[in-house]
Amino acid sequence: MDRDLATTVLFRVLLFVFGSCFLAAGSFIFLAVLNLIPNSLSHTSAGTVFGTLGSATFAFAGLGMVLYAVGLPNVAAKAGLMALLAFVLTFNWIAFGPGERQFQTTSSSSWGGKRVSTASETEGRILFGLAALVMDGLILFPLFTRKRYKS
């Protein structure tokens, strides 16, 4: 008997447990960012943005796994899209958001050891901007082409 892995009970149980852990971790971090849980997090604007987007990425990914495990694949896909958007927004904020950025480059070799140097803000923003634009395009392209090819 050949069964699809996604329909097995063991897979769904593991997905539910793993997703619940992600959802709990994301929720816990979000409560800490909001200072509803005592913590020693940096409450700067950068810390708040990264904490919010990072916790949203984990929480929505976990929610998607839990929803898929209980048999709601369409809603799970929407939660997965929200997780992806939160992840991509992080790159967009680094590239295009307000404030000064400090970037570092690390290089290592077997004969020279590890070297860390400071990169210019422009260089860092350009690299993150290119990555953000590629990811934005990968998200937006299907949304625009879907209407064109609907029958």
Residue by residue, DSSP assigns 18-59 as: HHHHHHHHHHHHHHHHTTSS------SHHHHHHHHHHHHHHH
For residue 118, the cross-strand partners are: 104
What is the per-residue pLDDT for 125? 92
The residue behind tokens 């709601």 is 72
- The pLDDT tens digits of the residues spanning 88-102 come to 999 999 999 888 888
What span, in angstroms and rounded, lies between the C-alpha atoms of 90 and 51?
A: 10
**DSSP SS3 for 100:** coil
User: How many distinct structural domains can be found in the chain?
Assistant: 1
Predicted TM-score (pTM) of the model is: 0.78
DSSP state of 36: S
Poorest-pLDDT segment among 40-49, 67-76, 135-144: 40-49
Taking Cα atoms as reference points, which of 102, 150, 149 lies closest to residue 125? 102
For residue 95, count other CB atoms closer than 10 A to its CB: 18
Determine the structural domain holding residue 46 and report its residue range: 5-149
pLDDT over threshold 50, residue 1? no
